[in-house]
């Protein structure tokens, strides 16, 4: 690493730390222990289906067995969790893979410690897809060219994967007009005709199809059947400071993912503890895969797509970011 790169990383980290600490006074339990002697850690998560394994793992005592006293704190998205982990507000966090690649490319000192969630690999039966209202002339991925497509975040994993499936279908994704809307607002926007299509994940995907919307393409499964969509991570500083806690977290997450995979009914029931998903939708929604291992090739593919679509100018260092 050059001195220039080193100074850039330090400057970014200090800037993020200063901003986050200003809004996180009194929340830092970094390095403290509970009355039982376990290490107290805060984990930033998003209240979506993807993180069901961590709630199951807590219930099963997998984290306690590793000497961890866990507090979960919800955030609106992974973009807010990344600076929270860098600042020490959280010791661990959950975020989609492209957000972590973008953070790494900006020099933020992060370290992935566990797989998070992956595509089912089954087009039409994945937990993420692009939908249109019934009667839409949009039939295929290629038909999305030139249309208004809603996504929850511009220039991130959903735009790059949609661009990929459109490009693979022989059309020009640069003609798509992306519109940023929160997931709960996308289904109504499609119904009103404010957008021509929208990218949704569960449970919003099942809600939309239950109201008559139609899937056009599974952008995750269509990009890579083994796509690693999100991962858990920590800061490089915490990884060096408490490697035992990091190893314990990784081991507990592996057990949690395996348990959730083999107990899908319990994974659905866990949603009652941190979401307000309708019970009918809860039973019908498509669960993602929770593999213990990260699919490195799919992470590299997302990095390539981010560079191809201009989200980054240089390839992120996967050797530094990934375990």
Torsion from C-alpha of 34, 35, 37, 40, nearest 10 degrees? 0
Tally Cβ neighbours within 10 Å of residue 244. 11
Q: Is 3.30.200.20 the CATH number for 39-118+227-321?
A: no
Largest pairwise CA distance in the chain? 62
Lookup: tokens for 202:
């569960």
Average pLDDT over residues 210-228: 97
Is residue 112 exposed (0-12), middle (13-18) or buried (19+ Cβ within 10 Å)? buried
* pLDDT tens, position by position, 112-143: 999 999 999 999 999 999 999 999 999 999 99
Contact 167, 221 (CB under 8 A): no
Closest CA to 204 of 267, 94, 128, 124: 128
| Torsion sign (Cα): 19, 24, 26, 28 | negative
Closest CA to 161 of 217, 233, 92: 217
Distance CA 44, CA 81 (A): 6
Closest CA to 176 of 152, 208, 202, 150: 150
Closest CA to 238 of 54, 68, 35, 63: 68
First to last CA, the chain: 19
* pLDDT tens, position by position, 239-254: 999 999 999 999 999 9
Q: Evaluate if residue 209 carries a pLDDT over 70.
A: yes
Domain ranges (residues) in the chain? 39-118+227-321, 128-223
R_g over Cα of the chain:
20
- CATH level 2 (architecture), domain 128-223: 3-Layer(aba) Sandwich (3.40)
Percent of the chain with pLDDT over 90: 82
Q: How confident is the model at residue 31 (pLDDT cuts 50, 70, 90)?
A: low
The predicted pLDDT at position 32 comes to 76
pTM of the model: 0.88
The DSSP element (H or E) to which 96 belongs, if any, is: strand 92-96
39-118+227-321 and 128-223, same CATH topology: yes
Average pLDDT over residues 295-318: 96
For 107, residues 6+ apart whose C-beta sits below 8 A from its C-beta are 5, 8, 9, 12, 13
Lookup: tokens for 246:
């990091």
């Amino acid at each position: 690493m050059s001195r220039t790169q080193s100074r850039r990383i330090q400057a970014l980290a200090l800037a993020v730390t200063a901003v986050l600490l200003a809004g996180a006074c009194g929340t830092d339990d970094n390095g403290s222990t509970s009355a039982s002697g376990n290490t107290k850690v805060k984990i930033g998560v998003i209240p979506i289906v993807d993180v069901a394994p961590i709630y199951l793992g807590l219930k099963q005592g997998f984290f306690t067995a590793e000497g961890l006293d866990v507090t979960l704190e919800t955030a609106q998205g992974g973009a807010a969790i990344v600076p929270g982990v860098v600042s020490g507000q959280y010791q661990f966090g959950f975020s989609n893979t492209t957000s972590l690649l973008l953070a790494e490319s900006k020099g933020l000192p992060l370290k992935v410690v566990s797989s998070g969630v992956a595509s089912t690999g089954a087009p039409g039966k994945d937990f993420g897809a692009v939908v249109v209202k019934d009667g839409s002339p949009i039939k295929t991925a290629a038909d999305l060219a030139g249309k208004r497509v809603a996504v929850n975040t511009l220039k991130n994993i959903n735009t790059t994967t949609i661009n990929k499936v459109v490009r693979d279908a022989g059309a020009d994704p640069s003609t798509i007009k992306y519109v940023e809307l929160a997931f709960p607002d996308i289904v109504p926007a499609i119904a009103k005709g404010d957008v021509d299509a929208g990218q949704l994940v569960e449970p919003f995907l099942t809600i939309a199809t239950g109201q008559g919307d139609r899937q056009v393409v599974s952008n995750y499964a269509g990009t890579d059947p083994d796509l690693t969509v999100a991962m858990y991570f920590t800061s490089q500083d915490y990884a060096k400071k408490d490697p035992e806690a990091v190893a314990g977290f990784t081991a507990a997450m592996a057990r949690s993912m395996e348990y959730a995979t083999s107990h899908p009914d319990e994974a659905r029931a866990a949603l009652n503890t941190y979401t307000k998903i309708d019970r009918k939708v809860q039973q019908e929604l498509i669960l993602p895969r929770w593999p213990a291992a990260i699919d490195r090739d799919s992470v590299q593919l997302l990095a390539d797509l981010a560079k191809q679509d201009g989200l980054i100018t240089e390839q992120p260092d996967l050797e530094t970011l990934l375990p």
